[in-house]
Amino acid sequence: MAWKQQIKAFDAWIDAGMTWIGTHGSAAFSALRGLLEGGYDGLLWLLQLPPWWVLGLAVGGLAWRLVGRGFGVIAAAGLILCWGMGLWPETLETLALVLSATTIAVLVGGIIGVVAGYSPRVAGFVDPVLDLIQTLPPYLYLLPAIAFLGYGPATAILATFIVAVPPTVKLTALGISRTPNEFLELGTATGASGWQTFVKIRLPFAARSIMAGVNQSLMMAFGMVVIAGIVGSGGLGETIYASVRTLDIAKSVDAAIAIVVLTIVLDRISQAAQKETP
Amino acid sequence: MTNEALDVLIDCRNVWKIFGERSDEAIKAIRERGAGKREVLRDYNCVVGVSDASFQIRKGEIFCIMGLSGSGKSTLVRLLNRLIEPSMGKVEVKGRDIAQMGPKDLRALRAHEIGMVFQSVALIPGRTVLDNAAFGLEVQGVAKAERHKIASDALARVGLADWANHMPRQLSGGMQQRVGLARAIASDPEIILMDEPFSALDPLIRKQLQDEFRELTKSLGKSAVFITHDLDEAMRIGDRIAIMKDGIMIQQGTAEDIVLHPADAYVAEFVAGISRLHLVKAHSLMAPVSEVPGDVLARLPRTSPEADVQALIDLVLSTPDQAVAVEDAGTCIGVVTARTLLEGIRGEEHAAATIEVVA
């Protein structure tokens, strides 16, 4: 039938396109891969540097300071549990993955968000793209990412970055564009330059909104951890993926508990940081 | 240039502001065939914010622009530092046409010459009172230690020396407005634009701040343009007052001019409720010297043309002749008698009303 052939032609066209990108962009992709894995390895090395209990206490102390004494104790106990389950290396790998992907998402998303916050035209272009990202099933961009970046943490970081970036962009743009008019007027009437108005007026007002975006991005990144296990992310995601395949239910539950602990600890800490923002 | 011309800080000539997408066409229509406000709205869907305003702000003077909401007063004040671009007309600040200034000159003008205080105060939440007061200096690039010193002095001037390290939200509305004023004077501008600064405050605090503001402005030798919707406030603060309605400046003059000679029924209605006792001065109450015989005139007590009603009453009661001579530069220019005093207090429109009733 004709339409079946047309679909075949379409598929062939996609394949050819992928091959073309793969061959012509290989230098760029290996550079990107090097960059992502370099960042990830560096962060992981840093996290592995102190003994497990020092890191546990440090996170507990931070939670104590920002959230409260009770949560500080819970956070420390949760991390001890991760260690106790024999999942400490995986926990650190997951932490490194989530933090590096979120950091890139916040940097890139922050810049795009600021531009979109200033320019409604840019926002009009960016918003539908973000909506598309948020509605696409993650597997859809996971596969081409494997094709270009190969199996490993780089692909996992890229995929995590893609899901993590929309909240930061959206909430940064919202914060920047919603600066109260009287404060913009104050800037102008005081003789502030465009840059001064941005740094001294728009940014402080947007800070809360931006922090909410960072928190959301972090949560989206945690949501990707298990899916990223399929592409060789390492860490807890891969542990779950491997134990599901071997029907090792108990181990997958252990890893899931560790993910929940990490997620809750980072969520509460970043939320508290947001509340501290004036 | 004459001395008087040098004293003019802001010269506003035939300034218009028209809002709307088709404002260019509307301006053309006004220019070429003198289209009115209604016509502009009907034919071009444009709103006339300010219509043909001309006035001057002189050195050391407080100029109040009074009008109800929608009268164009807030638009007008924003034309003076080009927060809003005029559609037509010319605004000169210290002899320079601000429409011709580039971005750099304009920023310098706003930073050094014209300060502004807002109704909403606009204190930045994450900064201390001191850092808010120092904001203008910070923008100008003044080093931290120096700007903090200047800002502390400015805070001391408005009576907030002890609050420097507090956060804005810890302050009451009246105190916040004082910080706004300190922020404006810290940059030491020659002109301060006050956009309804006290409107949101309760009456007692408002009155106190009005007096403080007037005293501070005068002692620092600043000039101010003060926007308000409250005629009492305008009378209390302003050396001269302009009354706006529908974008048009209906009348300009001293409080006394406006109360005694309202330009139209609208102004008359406004000033009807104003107590004239402290506004009426000897020169507007006096009768010609010929009203009293020469020998009586010679023995009357003397006073100046600026003497107010309170002083006049005291003087008139102090002599058996019940009159006082008004003297300017050594010559007698008129007399105030008990009769003219009573008539003056009663006011012209009351006199007219009485006659109508009698007829």
Three-state secondary structure string covering B125-172: CCCCHHHHHCHHHHHHCCCHHHHHHHHHHHHHHCCCHHHCCCCHHHCC
Terminal Cα distance for chain A, rounded: 65
Give the A:B interface size as CB pairs under 8 Å.
Answer: 57
3 state DSSP class of B89:
strand
Is residue A190 within 8 angstroms of chain B, CB to CB? yes
Residues B167 and B229 in one domain: yes
Residues B116 and B199 in one domain: yes
Which residues of chain A from 204 to 243 reach within 8 Å of chain B, CB to CB?
204, 207
* Dist. CA A40–CA B233, nearest whole Å: 66
Domain boundary among B232, B251, B271: B271
Q: Cβ contacts (< 8 Å) between A179 and chain B: which residues?
A: none
Q: Is residue A218 part of a domain?
A: yes
- Rg of chain A on CA atoms, in Å: 21
The CATH number assigned to the domain holding A146 equals: 1.10.3720.10
Question: CA dist A91 to A1, A214, B76, Å?
Answer: 53, 21, 63
Q: What's the mean per-residue pLDDT of chain B? A: 86
Q: Cβ contacts (< 8 Å) between A189 and chain B: which residues?
A: 81, 83, 110, 114-116, 193
The CATH number assigned to the domain holding B288 equals: 3.10.580.10
Q: Is residue A64 part of a domain?
A: no
Residues B263 and B292 in one domain: no
Residues B101 and B126 in one domain: yes
pLDDT over 70, % of chain B: 94
Q: Is residue B338 part of a domain?
A: yes
Query: Which residues have a Cβ under 8 Å from the Cβ of A117 and sit 6 or more positions away?
Result: A123, A172, A173, A174, A175, A176, A177, A202, A206
Interface list for chain B against chain A, based on CB atoms closer than 8 Å? 81, 83, 106-112, 114-116, 118, 120, 122, 124-127, 135-136, 138-140, 187, 193
How many C-alpha atoms does B311 have within 13 Å on its Cβ side? 17
3 state DSSP class of B50:
strand
Q: Which of B80, B93, B104, B124 to mutate to test the interface with A (most CBs of A within 10 A)?
A: B124
Domains contained in chain B, number:
2
Distance between A175 CA and the closest CA of chain B, angstroms: 15
Q: Is residue A79 part of a domain?
A: no
Query: Which residues have a Cβ under 8 Å from the Cβ of A187 and sit 6 or more positions away?
Result: A196, A197, A200, A201, B139
Residues B339 and B191 in one domain: no
Residues B163 and B304 in one domain: no
Q: Between chains, do A191 and B136 touch, taking CB under 8 Å as contact?
A: yes
By residue range, what is the domain housing residue A118?
26-49+85-276
Q: Is residue A199 part of a domain?
A: yes
* Dist. CA B167–CA B179, nearest whole Å: 11
* Token pair belonging to A257: 């508990």
Q: Is residue B29 part of a domain?
A: no
Q: Is residue A65 part of a domain?
A: no
Q: Between chains, do A185 and B122 touch, taking CB under 8 Å as contact?
A: yes
3 state DSSP class of B334:
strand
Token look-up 């947007």 returns A206
State pLDDT tens for residues A96-105.
Answer: 999 999 999 9
Cross-strand bridge partners of residue B53: B15
Q: What is the ipTM of this complex?
A: 0.78
Domain boundary among B246, B271, B296: B271
Query: Which residues have a Cβ under 8 Å from the Cβ of B281 and sit 6 or more positions away?
Result: B256, B305, B306, B307, B308
Q: Is residue B23 part of a domain?
A: no
Is residue A276 within 8 angstroms of chain B, CB to CB? no
Q: What string of pLDDT tens digits covers the 359 residues of chain B?
A: 444 555 889 999 999 898 888 888 888 888 787 777 788 888 888 888 898 899 999 999 999 999 988 888 999 999 999 999 998 899 999 989 999 999 999 999 999 999 999 988 899 988 999 999 999 999 999 999 999 999 999 999 888 989 999 999 999 988 999 999 999 999 999 999 999 999 888 888 888 899 999 999 999 999 999 999 988 899 889 999 999 988 889 999 988 888 888 888 888 888 887 777 777 778 878 888 888 888 888 888 888 888 888 888 888 888 888 888 888 888 888 888 888 888 877 765 444 444 444 43
State pLDDT tens for residues B11-59.
Answer: 999 998 988 888 888 888 887 877 777 888 888 888 888 988 999 999 9
At residue A1 the predicted structure's pLDDT band, cuts being 50, 70 and 90, is low
By residue range, what is the domain housing residue B251?
3-7+56-271
Residues B97 and B226 in one domain: yes
Q: Cβ contacts (< 8 Å) between A200 and chain B: which residues?
A: 124, 135, 138-139
Query: Which residues have a Cβ under 8 Å from the Cβ of A224 and sit 6 or more positions away?
Result: A101, A138, A156, A159, A160, A163, A164
Q: Is residue B18 part of a domain?
A: no
* Dist. CA A162–CA B59, nearest whole Å: 61
Closest-approach residue (CA) in chain B for A198: B139
Residues B219 and B320 in one domain: no
Contact in structure between A239 and A87 (CB atoms under 8 Å): yes
Q: Between chains, do B122 and A186 touch, taking CB under 8 Å as contact?
A: yes
* Token pair belonging to A122: 């840019």
Cross-strand bridge partners of residue B12: B55, B91
The CATH number assigned to the domain holding B125 equals: 3.40.50.300
* Dist. CA B225–CA B237, nearest whole Å: 10
Q: What's the pLDDT score for residue B271?
A: 84
* Dist. CA A80–CA A86, nearest whole Å: 10
Cα B190 from chain centroid (whole Å): 15
Instruction: Using the predicted structure, report yes or no on whether residue A2 has a pLDDT greater than 60.
Output: yes
Q: What's the pLDDT score for residue B350?
A: 44
Residues B291 and B182 in one domain: no
Domains contained in chain A, number:
1
In 3D space, the residue among B84, B65, B83, B109 whose CA is nearest the CA of residue B17 turns out to be B84
* Dist. CA B140–CA B344, nearest whole Å: 53
Residues B152 and B215 in one domain: yes
Is residue A181 within 8 angstroms of chain B, CB to CB? no
**Largest distance between two CA atoms of chain B:** 75
Distance between B115 CA and the closest CA of chain A, angstroms: 7
The Cα angle at residue A157 between residues A271 and A124, in degrees rounded to 5: 70
Q: Is residue B346 part of a domain?
A: yes
Domain boundary among B244, B271, B298: B271
Q: Is residue B40 part of a domain?
A: no
Q: Is residue A135 part of a domain?
A: yes
* Dist. CA B3–CA A245, nearest whole Å: 94
Distance between B155 CA and the closest CA of chain A, angstroms: 18
Q: Cβ contacts (< 8 Å) between B107 and chain A: which residues?
A: 191-193
Q: What's the pLDDT score for residue B348?
A: 56
Q: Is residue B294 part of a domain?
A: yes
Specify the DSSP class assigned to residue B236: H
State pLDDT tens for residues A220-267.
Answer: 999 888 888 888 888 898 899 889 889 988 999 999 999 999 999 999
Contact in structure between B22 and B42 (CB atoms under 8 Å): no
Q: What's the pLDDT score for residue A190?
A: 92
Q: Cβ contacts (< 8 Å) between A204 and chain B: which residues?
A: 124-127
State pLDDT tens for residues B141-175.
Answer: 999 999 999 999 999 988 898 999 999 999 998 89
Question: CA dist B169 to A276, B130, B177, Å?
Answer: 15, 13, 12
Q: Between chains, do B107 and A193 touch, taking CB under 8 Å as contact?
A: yes
Residues B333 and B247 in one domain: no
Is residue A52 within 8 angstroms of chain B, CB to CB? no
Question: CA dist B248 to B16, B75, B79, B168, Å?
Answer: 10, 12, 14, 37
Instruction: Using the predicted structure, report yes or no on whether residue A151 has a pLDDT greater than 90.
Output: no
pLDDT over 70, % of chain A: 99
Distance between A173 CA and the closest CA of chain B, angstroms: 20
Residues B265 and B314 in one domain: no
* Dist. CA A140–CA A224, nearest whole Å: 13
pTM over 0.90: no
Q: Between chains, do B118 and A186 touch, taking CB under 8 Å as contact?
A: yes
* Dist. CA A131–CA A122, nearest whole Å: 14
* Dist. CA A155–CA A36, nearest whole Å: 9
Q: Is residue A13 part of a domain?
A: no
Q: Is residue A35 part of a domain?
A: yes
Q: Between chains, do A190 and B112 touch, taking CB under 8 Å as contact?
A: no
Distance between A70 CA and the closest CA of chain B, angstroms: 28
Q: What's the pLDDT score for residue A44?
A: 93
